[in-house]
Structure 1
Amino acid sequence: MIVIIGNGISGVTTARYIRKRSDKEILIISAESKYFFSRTALMYVYMGHMKFEHTQPYEPHFWEKNRIQLKQARVDSVDTDNKELQLDNGETISYDSLVLATGSKPNKFGWKGQDLERVGGLYSKQDLEYVEKCSEGLKTAVIVGGGLIGIELAEMFLSRNIDVHFLVRESHFWGGVLPKRDSEMIMRHMNKHHGLHMHYGEELEEIVDNGNGEACAVITKSGEKIDCQFVGLTAGVSPNIQFLQDSGIQTERGIMVNRFLETNAKDVYAIGDCAQFKEPLTDRRPIEQVWYTGKFMGETVAKTITGERTEYNPGYWFNSAKFFDVEYQTYGMVWNQLKEGQSEFIFEDEKNEVLLHFVFETDTMKFSGINNFGIRLRHQLFNEWLLQGATVETVLRNLKAANFDPEFYNKYEEAVIAQFNKEFNTNIVLEKAKWWQTLIAK
């Protein structure tokens, strides 16, 4: 039997792709929920845009139809010698192959008061339920950590007219990821939201107990006291691996894997947020906590388990997110600071909150990556340009093909090229619109 621990995108993708290729018995175990759901949709449940059952991409009968067994339980320990799992209900499960897809948990850094009531994160279904429980009568919340989960939590609270104080360690938002110019655009957008109070260059020192074991305020490292009735801890996440302590499976920050997603234990694999590469891919972090990489890891390990040993090769970096009303995509590598030998070109329409940040090699003009805000671009086309080693001139020349939604983008194409020609003394001419599929086929 193939046992998968974790029913997020990585685990469920593994099960689906194994079933496409094999009739082997499959069991998914999850302590969080019986059915797979879209984690990014949790915020919309809180905001009243959908019910929780609407976050489930598959109907309950899907699992029975595809002969994928589901068990809601927590795995307490793994015995790799005997290929057995011990569950919290006392049950023992045997496996032939084991896939660890246990995801992440919110970071805690030993802050005084971090385990009080009315302190929580936003990662699991249980987290959402706890935030909902604490929201009755909630007037002010403090969010610690300037990342994507923090943005989601802030938007949730603001939708119910709850004041939010946001503590961000860096001098600008998401400073460990975004270049300063990109971050400043997002900061201006966030400043428009009534009830959102940003505290840059500020860190949490202590969460104050009201005497009943509940959070009632925070004290920052600068000594400021902020009264509140809830504290959201969103200072990143870390792999969920505590239950492997005595398993013999090698771990560091995450579960150590090779390029085939294999651990040091026979027939045991790790994928998704909990996996850490012994040898990271070029220009990639050793732990990749992104939806699309988790999905691709699931597809890859399914091939290996069903007899086609396959190396993980996800292609070029891609991610997407939303900062309140501004959509964000990134293709290739755009670091928060330019690397040696790189140049950049930034086009911004501040009024309409649109920004395109191109990075390329100074000597060859080879395109390295792009951050785009307020515009949707075609993932497949940018991936193809990166694979081909296209120049930034090629990318700019074909902006009409790259544009996913012409209705919102046409007015920027000429302006982008005109600004680039002026700054870099070039004479790029915009190509006539072509079907992007035709371009990729060439």
Structure 2
Amino acid sequence: MRHIVILGNGISGITAAREIRKHSDDQITVISSETDHFYSRTALMYIYMGHLEYHHTKPYEDWFWAKNRIALVRQSVESIDFAQKEVYWEKGSLHYDVLVLAVGSKPNFFGWPGQELAGVQGLYGIPDLERMEAATKGIKQAVVVGGGLIGIELCEMLLSRGIHVTFLVREKSFWNSVLPDGESALASRHIREHHVDLRTNTELQEILGDGTGRVRAVVTTAGEELPAQFVGVAVGVRPNIDLLKETPLETDRGILVNQYLETNLPDVYAIGDCVQHRTPPTGRKALEQIWYTGRIMGETVAQTILGHRTAYQPGVFFNSAKFFDIEYQTYGLAPAHLRDHSHLRTFYWEHADGRKAMRFYYKADDQVIVGVNTVGIRQRQAVWTQWITDHRTIQYVLEHLPQANFDPEFYKQHEADILASFNAANPENTVRLKARKGLFSWLSEQMS
């Protein structure tokens, strides 16, 4: 019987453990220093806001692990002897036959003066949430640095406690490095409508203390001093690989793996946020720190460990988020700017209320759809995945757009307005809306 040791109890490591257990009697041990049990990181903000309690975020009851013979060890690993296949922590060690590194990522800090002060932190896991809970009791002002998804979550969390938030974004509008100008401007307006003091083209220069080791203010690169008793740092994450850098394991920005999630060392695999793909799958980045890709990697590596060597295939890219009350989804190739994608064209539609929008990406030569952004209008992932996989044209997609709509039955539909806008911009290539079909009709077509 092999001993399979998994470092990390996030979605990647736990998925791997469960998949291996389903099909083998191998001994499985999961080591994590963060929490006793697996929980949903995506729910952290809802714990802080009072919508959930910690135990609500655990997908499995505490008895699940012993029943399924998955041993849990709460320890902080200090070193790994890859030659002897031994994992060490302060007062103990484990021998492994197979090692799966699922050590995740950690928030970026860039050496700002004062970043070590109490009340300055990122948000990644339960320990961060506990620190934030303590640091924000009774405060009135906070600054959030960085214009991504964690940044806007921090803003919403702090506002729920009545804390005034100043949001520092270095781009000209919110998340403009990922969102095109239209969607970014829409999100920026919505953020300000929620009484966030959004400062664009603004960066952090220094964090000032109060003389007791706590933060009292920040200074921007424009020289402005902003009072703050809490500073949330949300300028991205990086693979949590400091422990592994001076070892025989090959790393760059992350742990280098091939298409089978194998490292350069025998019987050592890496999955999740800590991974850097040597040859990324088509349409994917070398580092891709998304919840569902971590889950897919866990499923994939389990198959290989079980003797069915399987390549990592994440499929058509997708992601989703919320900007306060507005939902955002993206599928396929949807770059913020086309300067490096001269072969692409886009069609952008925005509703008059400024809260809904769709942007369609397609090839200039054959009109084939490659991606979409949708804001405030929910879409069906299965339909968009099929359209992109089948190389449907922009005309076909617009004609059949109601099939992708996932909003509730009594929501107002906007497909006719979208088509009218496209036809006005492309009078030489008029498209007409096909009769609406339900999801079951569409699925029946795909299966026939």
Q: Which TM-score band applies after superposition, normalised by the shorter structure? A: over 0.9
Identity of aligned residues (%): 50
Q: Per-residue displacement from partner, 1:334-384 (whole Å, max 9, x unpaired)?
A: 101121121111111141611111000011110010000111111111111
SS where residue 218 of structure 1 aligns?
A: strand
Q: Is the 8 Å Cα contact of residues 400 and 410 (structure 1) preserved in structure 2?
A: no
CA distance in 1, matches of 2:190, 2:446: 35
Q: Per-residue displacement from partner, 1:236-280 (whole Å, max 9, x unpaired)?
A: 000001111333111111101111111111111111100001122
CA distance in 2, matches of 1:399, 1:439: 15
Q: Residue 399 of structure 2 corresponds to which residue in structure 1?
A: 397
Matches within 5 A, 1:372-391: 372-391=374-393
Q: Residue 365 of structure 2 corresponds to which residue in structure 1?
A: 363
Q: Residue 201 of structure 1 corresponds to which residue in structure 2?
A: 201
Are 2:231 and 1:225 equivalent residues in the alignment?
no
SS where residue 359 of structure 2 aligns?
A: strand
| Letter of the structure 2 residue corresponding to residue 422 of structure 1 | A
Q: Per-residue displacement from partner, 1:364-418 (whole Å, max 9, x unpaired)?
A: 1100100001111111111111111111122112112111124365520111112
Matches within 5 A, 1:46-85: 46-85=48-87
CA distance in 1, matches of 2:268, 2:409: 49
- Stretches of structure 1 that go unaligned for 5 or more consecutive residues are none
Q: Residue 431 of structure 2 corresponds to which residue in structure 1?
A: 428
CA distance in 2, matches of 1:21, 1:198: 51
Structure 1 residue ranges (4+ consecutive) displaced by more than 6 angstroms after TM superposition: none
Relative to structure 1, is the Cα distance of residues 369 and 213 closer, same or farther in structure 2, using a 3 angstrom cutoff?
Answer: same
Q: Residue 183 of structure 1 corresponds to which residue in structure 2?
A: 184
CA distance in 2, matches of 1:109, 1:432: 54
CA distance in 1, matches of 2:274, 2:411: 38
The count of residues paired between Structure 1 and Structure 2 equals: 440
Bigger mean CA offset, 64-73 vs 235-244: 64-73
- Stretches of structure 2 that go unaligned for 5 or more consecutive residues are none
Matches within 5 A, 1:191-340: 191-194=192-195, 196-338=196-338, 339-340=341-342
CA distance in 1, matches of 2:29, 2:410: 45
CA distance in 2, matches of 1:52, 1:134: 19
Bigger mean CA offset, 19-28 vs 147-156: 19-28
Q: Residue 145 of structure 2 corresponds to which residue in structure 1?
A: 144
Of residues 39, 42, 45, the one that matches 1:40 is 42
CA distance in 2, matches of 1:11, 1:67: 15
CA distance in 1, matches of 2:67, 2:130: 30
Q: Is the 8 Å Cα contact of residues 28 and 68 (structure 1) preserved in structure 2?
A: yes
Q: Is the 8 Å Cα contact of residues 186 and 354 (structure 2) preserved in structure 1?
A: no
Q: Deviation of residue 71 (structure 1)?
A: 1.1
SS where residue 206 of structure 1 aligns?
A: strand
What's the TM-score once normalised by structure 2's chain length? 0.96
- What is the alpha-carbon root mean square deviation over aligned residues? 1.2
CA distance in 2, matches of 1:353, 1:72: 45
Q: Is the 8 Å Cα contact of residues 262 and 268 (structure 1) preserved in structure 2?
A: yes
| Letter of the structure 2 residue corresponding to residue 18 of structure 1 | I
Q: Is the 8 Å Cα contact of residues 27 and 69 (structure 1) preserved in structure 2?
A: yes
Q: Per-residue displacement from partner, 1:200-243 (whole Å, max 9, x unpaired)?
A: 11111100011111111001111000011011111100000111
Q: Residue 110 of structure 1 corresponds to which residue in structure 2?
A: 111
